[in-house]
Structure 1
Amino acid sequence: MDDYVVEVCKLENKFARLEIHHVIRDNNVGSDILSKLGSTQAQVSAGVFVQELHHPSIKTTEPPTADPAPADASREVMMLDVDWRVDIINYILNEKLPTDKTEAVRIAGRSKGYVLVGRKLYKRGPHLVVLMKCIPREEGQALC
């Protein structure tokens, strides 16, 4: 997406005026219909032309290369198996937040999109109609 913003900025001086409006997804019926057509691969109506883009329409910047410096043998990476749902559930049930202020603000903000049904955590869908069950990472990886 950043590459498209760069392209717009390059063209900005070619116009007398440029306005960019953020349209809330609920109010953007056209893009909503297009995204549903694309995700379900539904048949389009007669008279509607479909163009599939297999490559970006602009040249993208090169991906960052890996650091060629040798790894420091004195450093180790420790993987922690922490259930990502715990902080959100603690906040919803007991209004208990982590002691780190930044993390506390993040958890409080994220928890607004979740709901507990019984003892199970669900994420609300965009229109509050669909509830998506939240599962631990290991359970999700087992499904793949």
Structure 2
Amino acid sequence: MSTREENQWADSLAKLASSSLPINPSPIYVDILTAPSIDEIFVNQIQINLDWSQPLLDYILDNKLPEHKTEARALMFKARNYCIVGSSLYRRAFSEPLLRCLSLEEALQAIIEVYTGICGEHLGGKNLALKVIKQGLYWPIVRKDCED
């Protein structure tokens, strides 16, 4: 028996599957609504704190800690690396001068300026992050944002 004859059943099954009609040829019904289905719309606004530096500022300025014990301990440990100069938060670095902490909106603007604008180089993520830090700027996810 040749290999072509062995495939006969498989070929017949494939042809049957591809040539058959749809299993459920039922019609699709469309209902056009002339009036709203609900009377009133309630919108609850939720304020989300996206500023990563606010807990640090609260702790450094007002000695305010989170209620959870492990979060408070982590914040106290993290706050050692930060200081306030004037009204701005700065991060202490070992081999760099003080790094000014940016909000996420300011960070995006800084990435755009370093990547295309003032510095004018099209760098990869790691080098772009290093250049942003050399400009004296910091936020916690600087490398991830630069790579994205």
Q: Normalization by structure 1: what TM-score?
A: 0.41
User: Which structure is larger by alpha-carbon Rg, 1 or 2?
Assistant: 2
Structure with higher helix content: 2
Q: TM-score, normalised by structure 2?
A: 0.40
